[in-house]
Amino acid sequence: MLRRRLNRWLGGEERRVDSRTIYVGSRSANEAFIPPKFCDNRIVSSKYTVWNFLPKNLFEQFRRIANFYFLIIFLVQVIVDTPTSPVTSGLPLFFVITVTAIKQGYEDWLRHKADNEVNKYPVTVLEGGRRIRKESEKIKVGDVVEVEEDETFPCDLVLLQSSKEDGTCFVTTASLDGESNHKTHYTVPDIDEDLESLSATVECEQPQPDLYKFVGRMHIDKIQDPTVRSLGPENLLLKGATLKNTQKICGVAVYTGMETKMALNYQGKSQKRSAVEKSINAFLLVYLCILVSKALVCTTLKYVWQSNPGQDEPWYNEKTQKEKDTNFYLKMFTDFLSFMVLFNFIIPVSMYVTVEMQKFLGSYFITWDKDFFDPEIKEGALVNTSDLNEELGQVEYVFTDKTGTLTQNNMEFVECCIDGFQYKYRDANSDLDGICTTDGPVNKVRQKAVEEREELFLRALCLCHTVQVKEPTEQGHSQREEDMVDGLGVDGHLVHPVQEQRGFIASSPDEVALVKGAMRYGFTFMGLESKTMKILNRNNDVETYDLLHVLHFDPVRRRMSVIVRSKSGDILLFCKGADSSIFPRVRPEEVEKIRMHVERNATEGYRTLCVAYKLLSAEEYAQADAGLREARLVLQDREERLMAVYNQVETGMSLIGATAVEDRLQEEAAETMEALQGAGMKVWVLTGDKMETAKSTCYACRLFQKNTELLELTVRTLENGERRREERLYELLREYHKKAVQDAPPNKAGITRSWSSAGQDFGFIIDGATLSMVLNSSSESTSSHYKNLFLQICQNCTSVLCCRMAPLQKAQIVKMVKNSKGCPITLSIGDGANDVSMILEAHVGIGIKGKEGRQAVRNSDYAIPKLKHLKKLLLAHGHLYYVRISHLVQYFFYKNLCFILPQFLYQFFCGYSQQPLYDAAYLTMYNICFTSMPILAYSLLEQHISIEELLDNAALYREIAKNAMLRWGPFLCWTLLGVFHGLLFFFGVRCLFSNPALQDNGQVFGNWSYGTIVFTILVFTVTLKLALDTRHWTWINHFVIWGSLAFYVFFSFFWGGIIWPFLRQQRLYFVFANMLSSVSAWLVIILLILLSLLPEILLVVFRKPRGPHTRQRSEVSLLQISRWCPSHHYPTSI
C-alpha cells in the first residue's frame, strides 16, 4: 500500500508499463522465475489508524477558523496575564474538539469494521491440487480462486472454469454499476478441466477504473499445441459482483486490493458545503470585526484615561519595578490581547458543535419517517450525508433522469411493426394509420405482411439478444424473486407448457420484454447450450442455430448484433438498435414503411427498437470472422479495431420491422413534478432516450402543458435551414432568446408557471449533439456567448428537456447551471449508474432505490425508495430543517452579543482595568450548559407550520428561497435586538445600584452581585425568548427549557454555597443567595425580563389570526416578516 502511494507521489503512475504479466500454475524447476510484485488484496476505505488519529484529526479540526481562533486565545491566556482564567476558553474548546473527534472517530471505526468484514472474509484458493481456506486479504495475483453461488468475488478474476456445461456463469453487478439484472460471462476456451496441471501466462492491461473495458490475452502452455486466447470484459469477474444461478466457478486473480476496478471507482465524495455554512462564516467575520473594534476602543480609551495626572499610578495601586521597566508598546499590545480575551466569547465556538449535533440527530427524522417506507422493497429513506439537511429547503433547480426515475423501468411488450404493418397485441380491432390491425397471435390473423417476413422478424427477436433461460427450481417462485428473474407467468394459452415455469435472465429489461413478446406470437427461446441457440416455433418444431459471434451493445453504436448459422448452413446477421443507428444502414425505401410507426410509438411514450438482418456470404463471414478474431487478440486499441469490424459487417442490412415497449410512469410522478414547480423549482429532465419518447413523458408528468410553446434546439431543427449548422444554431439561439427573454413580460422573466399571471409558457428541448456544439464551439468567445444565450433561454422556460444525453453531458449541464449567475442551489435525482456523475456534481444528490441497482444510492447524499417521496423530502423536511438551523445560527450570535455587550460597557465604569463582569464559572458554562440544550431541542423539533400545511401549500417553500432567513437584513435585526437587550440588562441593573442600600441590614451589593444579577436576567431572557419563539411544544421542549433555568438556579446556589478547596478566590461565595434576599433585586430581575420580552409578547398577541380561514394567509405573511425580524411567530393552533 505504501509502495503504491510512493509510486504515485513520485510519478510512478505515469512511468509504469502499459501491461502486466501474470503467471498461472507451477513453473518448471529449471526455469528462472522471479515473481512480479503486486499489491495485496486488502481494501482500505478508512481515514485514520490508531497511530495517526490524534495528530491527523487535530490538524483537520484546527484548520477550521473558529477552532484555530480559540486555540490562539487559549494560548494567550496561558502566556499573558489576562483577566480571565485559561479554563474559560480552554474548556469549551476542549468540549468542541472532543465531541467532534468522537463523532469522526466513530464514523471511521465503522469504516474499519466494514473493511475488516471484507478483508477477513473466508475464501477458497486452489494450491497444489488442494482446496485451502484463506482470508480474502491473503489472496495474491496469480492465485486460482473458487467461488460458489451467491458468493461475492473477492478480487478481479479471469474466469477459467464453470460448473455449467456451456462454460458460462451468471453475475449481478448491482454494487458496481447499478444494474441488478444478470450478466453472462464466459470461460477462456481450451482450458483443461484439471486446473492443477494448468500452466499459463496472462498478459493484460494495467489496472484502470473502466468497468466495461478489459484487454488481455492468455498463453496456454501445452506440450503439443500451445495456444493464445483473447481476454475481454466477458471473461473478467469483478470484485463486488455476485455469482448467480451457477453452482461454482474457478478464476485466476489478475487485480487485487486497491487495484481492483471497484476500488479504483471508489472516489471520496467532494466535501459539499451548504449555503448556511457560508453564511455562518460571513457572520463570523462580522463578529470578529466587532470583537477587534471593542478591544481597540477599550485599549485606546484606557491609555487616554491613564494620561490624566494621577490616573496611571494612583496611590493605592503603585506599579512594581517590573511593570515600570516594561516596554510601552509591548504593554499596549498585551492590553489589547487581554481585551480580546475578555470579549472573545462574542465568537460562539460552541455553535459549531451544536450545528453538528443538530445535523447528525436531525437526519434521523428522515430515516424514521414512515411515509418514506416502501413495502415493495421493505426499505425506507437513507441519509448518507447529514451536512446538507438545510440545503433541501433551498433547492432552485431539479435535474431528473427519466427511465427508472420518472418511469418505473418495468418493460412490457406492446406492439410491433413488420414491413409497415402493425401487430398490436393488447387492443381489439382498430384502424391506425390507415392499416387494419387485429390483436392475437400472428399466425391466427391474416395480415398483409408475408408470413416468411413475420417468422423472420420473430426469429430475430428470439436470437438477437444476450438473454439466458433459468430452469425451474425446487424453491419455485421464492427463489425466482430472490434472483430477480424476469419473465415467469406469461399468458398461458400462448406459452408452451414446457416453458411455463422458465424465467429469463438478461442484462436489460428491454431484452426480456422482447423475448416474452415473441413468445406471445408462438416463437419461444429455449436457451443457449454449448454455443447452440434453440427456438421452439409455432409448429412445436425445435430450430437450432450455432452462435458464431455476438457484437455487443455499446452506447456509441446504440445497437447490438449476433451472427448465427442455421441448420441449412446459411449464415445470418441479426441486428437491433435505435432508429437513428439502424436507418442509415438499411435501404431508404424500407425506412419509409417503418419510420411512421416508430415516430408514432415514440410520441405515445413507448421505447422503440428497429430490427434488421443480413444474409452473409461465405467470403463476407470469413473476412468478418478473421477481423474479429484478430482484433480481440490485440492489447492496444482493441475497442477501436473491433468497432471498425462491427461497422464494416453491419452495413447493407435489410430492415424487417420495429418493436414498441412500454415503460409506465412512477406512482404520483405528475403530482410530484407539479408540486415542485409550485414551490418555485425549475425541473430539467436529462435522459439518454429519444426526443419523442421523452417529450411524451414530460407531457404525462405535466412538465409540459397543452399551452406550452416548445422551443426545440436539436439536430433536426439545425438541418431545416440552408445555412451551416453553427450559423443555424446561432440564429435559433437569437430567435429563442428574443421570444423567451427579451419579449417576456417583466414579471414573467425567470418565474415558473405556477405563479405567472400572464404571458406564454415556454418549454425548451435540446439533444446531446446540439449541446456539444453549444458547449464546445470552435472559438472560446463564441462558446461563452452561446452558453450565456442558452442559459438565459432555459432560465426563462418552465421546464427543460435534454434528450440523447451521455452521462458526462448530464454532469456538464448541472455544473453549468450551478456556476451560473447567483449560484442557484441544484438537486440531481436518478436511479442508475449513468446518473452518478450528475448526482455527485449537484449541490444535493438524491438516489432512488430502483431496479438499476444501488450505484446511484451509494453515491448520493440522500436515497429514497420512490420519486413521490421527493415531495415530502423537500417541501416538509427541507423547509423545516432550513428554518430550524437558520434560527439556531441567528439565535447563537444574538445570545452571545447579549452576553458580551454588558462586559464591554462595564469597562467604561471600571477604568478599563479589564475587570470581568461575570465569574469564570459563568463564562465557561454559559454556552455549554445554561443555554445550549433549549436551542438544540428547538432546532430538532420545531414545526412553525404543520407538515400537512407545508405539503398542501407548496408556495410556502418559496418564502424561504435564496437563503431568505440568513440574509444581511435578518442578521442586522437579530444584532440590533442583541444590542437592545444588552443595553437594557446593563443600564437597568445600574439604575438599581444607584440606590446604595439594597439589603435589609443596610449593606450594599458588590461588583460580583452586579454581574450575577445581569447574568441572571440574561439567562432567563434568552431562554424565555426561545420559549416564545417555539410554536410546536413537546415534553422535550418543556424539559430542556424549564430544566435549564432550574439547573442555572441550582448551580448558582451550589457553586456559591460551598468553599471549594481548589479555588484561590471564592468570588461567588453566598453571592447568589444574598442577592435573592433583596426584594429590589427580585423586582429589577422580573421587570427587566418583562421589558426585554415585551416586543415578543406584543407580536404574539397582535399577530394571532382571528379565524380558521385566516391561518394560511397569516402564516405566509408572518413568514415574510420573519425574513426581516428575528421574532417570527406563527399561529399557536399549529
pLDDT of residue 223: 63
pLDDT of residue 1066: 64
689 in active site: no
pLDDT of residue 187: 87
Which residues of the chain carry a pLDDT beneath 50?
1-16, 28-32, 178, 427-446, 473-501, 747-758, 1106-1134
Q: 486: helix, coil or strand?
A: strand
Residue 393 contacts residue 407 (beta carbons within 8 Å): no
pLDDT of residue 722: 56
pLDDT of residue 317: 65
Amino acid of residue 1034: T
pLDDT of residue 20: 85
Catalytic residue among 143, 177, 401, 510: 401
H helical segments located in 273-388: 275-306, 321-325, 328-343, 350-368
Residue 862 contacts residue 839 (beta carbons within 8 Å): no
Locate 1090 and state its grid cell. 418583562
pLDDT of residue 1001: 59
Residue 938 contacts residue 884 (beta carbons within 8 Å): yes
| Rounded Cα distance, 216 and 222, in Å | 19
Residue 272 contacts residue 387 (beta carbons within 8 Å): yes
Q: Per-residue pLDDT tens for 968-1008?
A: 889 999 999 999 999 999 898 888 777 665 556 556 676 78
| Rounded Cα distance, 327 and 336, in Å | 14
Amino acid of residue 271: Q
pLDDT of residue 1118: 41
Locate 905 and state its grid cell. 460597557
Q: 654: helix, coil or strand?
A: strand
pLDDT of residue 2: 43
Q: 250-271 as b/e, with b when 16 or more CB fall inside 10 Å?
A: bbbbbbbbbbbbbbebeeeeee
Q: What is the pTM of this model?
A: 0.72
pLDDT of residue 479: 37
